[in-house]
Structures are given as structure tokens and as C-alpha cells.
Amino acid sequence: MCGRFVRTSPADVIRAEFGVTSIAELDARPRFNVCPGEPVAAIIQRADERRLGSLVWGLGSRAQINVRSETAARQPLSREAFAHRRCLIVADGFYEWQQRESQKLPFFFRLASRQPFAFAGIWARDGATGKPQTAILTRPADDVVRRVHERMPVILGADARERWLDPRLDDPEVLEPLLREPAELESYRVSTLVNSARNDSPDCIRPAEGPLRLVPRPD
């Protein structure tokens, strides 16, 4: 699954990496502990426009934050969005927790290249408010993540991102293989600071052994 992540790259870096052509209202301040229910930086393709803007993380009346990639094309909540409303959710890393006896220990994962990347996402408008919402697709964990958790978010490589955003594609047999491509990740254990949604600072991604201080998240 994916319940917290990091987005620190500035808007100009995101624009260059993902071929963004326009930017809507977006809080581009670095985030070290993005939580469910909060706005996330997402990219949507419409015709020739590739737009970067905000979507609320949590889809539908149950605010579902993750959707299994193996069944997303067939589930009632997600099948229409899978076919017609796909997006990229911009990130620089994500967290997973490992259960050790009575403790849940957080680990931070990022690309070995240290570059920003994109989760595969789907989006829809809330039926009551009309606000756009999103969920991150997940897959069985690869060898790196499996040591900590059995599932992980789907990370799309450059070629897969282009096809995932292509509005002309809606065939699950074409789209689903994109969600199984590997990503070269590295990881390390971090402090339990990230366990609290109140904390949002670089200390959240520092190795667990380093000096730590509490910093509240931005208003």
C-alpha cells in the first residue's frame, strides 16, 4: 500500500521531468509527510495539454487512497476512471512500515537515481462537492520493498508515463502491463516522527540514527 509520501521537487523541475505544459493552482512547497485527505501534485493529460495541479488524496465516499492495480480495471469504484481518468501523482519518495513485535517501524523508499517519479493514479470528481479526488494504484512488492511490506505503489517509468496519460488508450490489456514494470529503489529506516501527521520536515526522511527535532507541518 502507500499511506504517506514525499514531494520535494520544485515546480520547474517537475515541469521539465514530466513535460508539463500548464500549471494550475498548486502549493509547490516541499512536503516530507503527505497524508491522506490532503492535496497532492498530479498531472492530467487533455488533448495536447499536460496540466499540473492539485487533487485531493482519497477517492469516493470512503476516501479510498489505494486501489489494487490487478483489479482496478474491473472494480465498480475504479473501472471508469481506469479507462478514462488516469493521472500521474508526483513524488520523490514514499514510506512503508514494518511490523516488529509491538512496533511499526517506518522505512523511506526512493529511486536509486534520486530523481522525482510518478505514481500511477486514477481520479474522479466527488459526487457531492465536485472536487477532484485521486487514488494511487498499488502492486505486489518487489524485492526491495518486500522486506518491509507485501505491497507497494505503482511507479511508472518514462515510457509507461506517456502511455498511461494517453487519452486514446482504454484497453486493460494494453494498460495493465505498464503497472508491473520494475523500478530501481533504495531504502533506509527513518524515525517514527513520520508516524504523526503533525510532523512535516526534512527530519522525516533522515536516517533513524541521526539527530531529530519536531517541526510542525505548514498551514
Residues identified as active-site? 2, 96
Q: Which residues contact 99 (CB under 8 A, 6 or more apart)?
A: none
Residue 214 φ/ψ, nearest 5 degrees: -85, 130
User: Residue written as cell 517501524?
Assistant: 105
Amino acid at 99: Q
Residue 144 φ/ψ, nearest 5 degrees: -70, -50
Is residue 25 packed enough to be buried (19+ CB in 10 Å), middle (13-18) or exposed (0-12)?
exposed
First-to-last alpha carbon distance for the chain, in angstroms, is 27
